[in-house]
Structure 1
Amino acid sequence: MEKKPCSNSLAVKTSHVLPPDTNNHGTLFGGKLMAHIDDVAAIAAVRHSRLPVVTASTDSVDFLSPVKEGDSICVEAFVTWTHNTSMEVFVKAVTENLLTGERKVCTTAFLTFVAIDQYGKPVPVPDVYPETEQEKQLHKLAPERAQRRKERRQHSKELAKSFGTDYPWNKSKNY
């Protein structure tokens, strides 16, 4: 497979934040922003791999500043690193006060996607290479993030096994 630059996968989505998108504080629901992030990141992963993808993990979603009703939210994503069947995608969300033009990075996130075949089995993806200084920085640190993801996933598996499917504090009811 031929290597591809990070920029080939760039995906951008801009939305107007309307009243149904906001909570009782007049700011964008975090879950709504997370849905935008997953959507745009998935598009970037598909653009890179040209294959169907599934979300494997979200490392973190850091909400840095509120997104207010009437603002716009612009979500940008691109593939920063690949490993066999997986792709790390960096996402940045920028809010803009449409009346004043003030813009702020309101959220950053890293997500991992896995390319799959028609049977839902993981398949190899092309390597990615950085071109800009920012892309090089993200690419260089990606193996460390991948190792932390692997450790976190193992911890999650151990928690799931420990807790199981029952709620020990109330075994008499099915919720």
Structure 2
Amino acid sequence: MRKQKPVAESFVRMTELVLPNDTNTLNNLMGGRMMHLMDIAAAISAQRHSNRIVVTASVDNVSFREGIKLGNVVTLEAQVTRSFSSSMEVHINVWSEDIPSGTKVKSNEAFFTFVAVDQSGRPIDVPEAVPHSEEEVRLYDGALRRRQLRLVLAGRMKPQEATELKALFEME
């Protein structure tokens, strides 16, 4: 039996100030810089859960809902939602805050997948993620569907093997 660990122990909050070097010609945070920050926050979360070196395996759809302006404060929150044998899904929310105006908006959300590896780079087992809060349980419950969808889209699983996805595509 795998060791168990509450998902709350993987929680990460990271805050950054958007500086001129981070922006494009419209004075918005560059998308690549945002993804860089998201990858760091998610990796720290996965490391906290696994107590191992982790590598990014995949990034789900990253939507840029709201532009993040020069001078805004960006807050990223990441937490493992579920773990499998050596992989972990991490959910990330990103907020943009304009402190002088007192406004804060959610600008991004995504799921990243990480694999824990040993010193030689080989996958290694990670603790089972145990959800407690309602939101943790909701994200945990959807993680297997998201994982199977990722594997099907990557060509690493046949659609007919994706047991959690069948209900989405079967017509009566």
Q: TM-score scaled by structure 2?
A: 0.88
Q: Does 1:86 align with 2:87?
A: yes
Query: How far apart are residue 104 of structure 1 and its match?
Result: 0.7
Count of aligned positions: 155
Structure 2 counterpart of 1:42: 43
Structure 2 counterpart of 1:122: 123
Structure 2 counterpart of 1:141: 142
Q: Does 1:64 align with 2:69?
A: no
Q: Deviations over 1:107-157 (max 9, x none)?
A: 0010000000111100000000111111111100111000111011118xx
Q: Does 1:109 align with 2:106?
A: no
Q: Which ranges in structure 2 are unaligned for 5 or more consecutive residues? A: 157-172
Partner-residue secondary structure (3-state), 1:125: coil
Query: How far apart are residue 67 of structure 1 and its match?
Result: 0.4
Which one has the largest radius of gyration? 1
1:160-175 superposed matches below 5 A = none
Structure 2 counterpart of 1:172: none
Partner-residue secondary structure (3-state), 2:3: coil
> Structure 1: which amino acid aligns with 2:60?
D
> Structure 1: which amino acid aligns with 2:96?
T
Q: Deviations over 1:89-119 (max 9, x none)?
A: 0000010001122111100010000000111
> Structure 1: which amino acid aligns with 2:148?
Q
Quote the Cα distance in structure 2 between the aligned partners of 1:67 and 1:128: 32
Query: How far apart are residue 80 of structure 1 and its match?
Result: 0.2
Query: How far apart are residue 48 of structure 1 and its match?
Result: 0.2
Q: TM-score scaled by structure 1?
A: 0.86
Greater than 6 Å deviation, 4+ residue runs: none
Structure 2 counterpart of 1:100: 101
Q: Deviations over 1:53-83 (max 9, x none)?
A: 0000001211111101110000110100011
Structure 2 counterpart of 1:164: none
Q: Which ranges in structure 1 are unaligned for 5 or more consecutive residues? A: 156-175
Structure 1 counterpart of 2:16: 15
Query: How far apart are residue 26 of structure 1 and its match?
Result: 1.1
Quote the Cα distance in structure 2 between the aligned partners of 1:110 and 1:10: 14
> Structure 1: which amino acid aligns with 2:146?
R
RMSD: 1.0
Q: Deviations over 1:32-56 (max 9, x none)?
A: 0000000000000000000000000
Query: How far apart are residue 25 of structure 1 and its match?
Result: 1.0
> Structure 2: which amino acid aligns with 1:28?
L
Quote the Cα distance in structure 1 between the aligned partners of 2:61 and 2:43: 16
Query: How far apart are residue 2 of structure 1 and its match?
Result: 2.5
Structure 1 counterpart of 2:52: 51
